Amino acid sequence: MRILPAPPGTGIVFRRTDLDGFEIEAISRNVARVSYATSLMKKGVLISTTEHLLSAFIGVGIDNAIIELDNLELPILDGSAQPFVEMMQKAGIRRQRRPRKYLKIRREMELREGDKFIAVYPADTYAVSYAINFPHPLIGKERFEVTLSNGSYLRNIAAARTFGSREDEQAMRNMGLIRGASRENCIVLTRDGIENGPLRFEDEFVRHKVLDLVGDLALLGKQILGNVVADRAGHAMHTALVSRILRDKSLWEEVTVSAEEFDRPAVTASLAAVGSSL
Ligand SMILES: [Zn+2]
């Protein structure tokens, strides 16, 4: 995988170098099947496990980039967004002097499915509140709230790794995913603990759910200004929220903000150089 700089207006675009450079835009319209991971598909061409890299782009503040990939699955690496963040920081970030367009939520939207819940409410910043209730002695009920500004994504979210049991792993392998996965690229749960400790955060599990949510919401194609609340949701509900938001234009408006009122750069950005291969 390589990440290339791209001009303003490009957005985030995947390019399959093994398929004559076929391009798939990272937008809601191209969302394919969603289960353990989020996948994009266009004209039968698949890109799998997009959420951690897209999350890193939002966290670092990159709006425009081309991701070259010689395979259908993104590298899972350590199961977090941290290696992608470091790759982008090493390449450098170039501001593009074009105002960033935000998708500002004007009206609330709530989705429920059994005991799962996800919603978005009007706000002037991007905030996420996530709750999980996972039947495992180390997890149980966890809840994490964060406003994604002033480096809080980089400090609190980027390093949180994905988790699963050996049974999940086998199921994913059967679907042709996580080739090469091992204890190096996720927290492996055992019946009463974890195989490969220590945890990076005491509540690493719920922080990773925030990471996934941010990555899936990136499929809006714009940074969001809103308060997102999720309870036991997953990729399917995250991406359902995205398509519901985009479908109902009375829920939001496109705005630009000045750097002064926002205390961070409000222009688009790309990489200053090619991100080193992984
Ligand atoms: Zn994940």
Rounded to an integer, what distance in angstroms lies between the CA atom of residue 225 and that of residue 227?
7
Q: Check if the beta carbon of residue 177 is closer than 8 Å to that of residue 49.
A: yes
Instruction: Return the pLDDT at 261.
Output: 64
Which parts of 36-158 fold into alpha helices (H)?
51-60, 82-91, 152-156
The pTM for the full model equals: 0.94
pLDDT at residue 67 is higher than 80: yes
Instruction: Return the pLDDT at 60.
Output: 94
Instruction: Return the pLDDT at 45.
Output: 96
Cα of 79 vs centre of ligand 1, distance in Å, is: 7
Rounded to an integer, what distance in angstroms lies between the CA atom of residue 118 and that of residue 92?
35
Q: Residue 13 — left, alpha, or beta (φ > 0 → left; ψ -120 to 50 → alpha)?
A: beta
Instruction: Return the pLDDT at 180.
Output: 52
Element (H, E) at 132: strand 126-134
Question: Which amino acid does the sequence have at 41?
Answer: M
Instruction: Return the pLDDT at 177.
Output: 65
Cα of 99 vs centre of ligand 1, distance in Å, is: 30
* 3-class SS shares of the chain: helix, strand, coil, % to 5: 30, 35, 35
Query: Is residue 160 packed enough to be buried (19+ CB in 10 Å), middle (13-18) or exposed (0-12)?
Result: buried
pLDDT at residue 72 is higher than 70: yes
Rounded to an integer, what distance in angstroms lies between the CA atom of residue 159 and that of residue 187?
12
Q: pLDDT digits over 130-180, tens only?
A: 999 998 988 999 999 999 987 899 999 999 999 887 777 777 777 766 655
> In the structure encoding, which two tokens stand for residue 103, read together?
């998708």
Element (H, E) at 111: strand 109-113
For 5, 84, 85, 105, 196, the CA distances from 89, given in Å and listed in that order, are 13, 9, 6, 30, 28
pLDDT at residue 182 is higher than 80: no
Cα of 21 vs centre of ligand 1, distance in Å, is: 26
Q: Per residue in 177-208, is it b (16+ CB within 10 Å) or e — as a string?
A: bbeebeeebbbbbeeeebeeeebeeeebbbbb
136 φ/ψ angles, rounded to the nearest 5 degrees: -150, 140
Q: pLDDT digits over 88-144, tens only?
A: 999 999 999 899 999 999 999 999 999 999 999 999 999 999 999 998 988 999 999
Instruction: Return the pLDDT at 97.
Output: 87
Instruction: Return the pLDDT at 181.
Output: 53
Tell me the average pLDDT across 63-86. 95
> In the structure encoding, which two tokens stand for residue 140, read together?
């149980």
Instruction: Return the pLDDT at 263.
Output: 60
Instruction: Return the pLDDT at 277.
Output: 63
pLDDT at residue 79 is higher than 70: yes
Whether 235 is catalytic is yes
Residues 6+ apart with CB under 8 A from 73: 47, 48, 49, 177, 178, 179
Q: pLDDT digits over 195-249, tens only?
A: 888 999 999 999 999 999 999 999 999 999 999 999 999 999 999 999 999 999 9
Q: How confident is the model at residue 46 (pLDDT cuts 50, 70, 90)?
A: very high
Rounded to an integer, what distance in angstroms lies between the CA atom of residue 24 and that of residue 41?
7
Share the mean pLDDT of the chain: 91
Rounded to an integer, what distance in angstroms lies between the CA atom of residue 115 and that of residue 197?
30
Instruction: Return the pLDDT at 276.
Output: 72
Instruction: Return the pLDDT at 260.
Output: 65
Question: Other CB atoms closer than 10 Å to residue 73's CB: what's the count?
Answer: 19
Instruction: Return the pLDDT at 112.
Output: 97
- Could you give the count of Cα atoms lying within 13 Å of 165 in the half-sphere of its Cβ? 11
Catalytic residue among 52, 208, 235, 238: 235
Cα of 261 vs centre of ligand 1, distance in Å, is: 32
Cα of 15 vs centre of ligand 1, distance in Å, is: 21
Nearest one of 58, 52, 76, 70 to 11, comparing CA atoms: 58
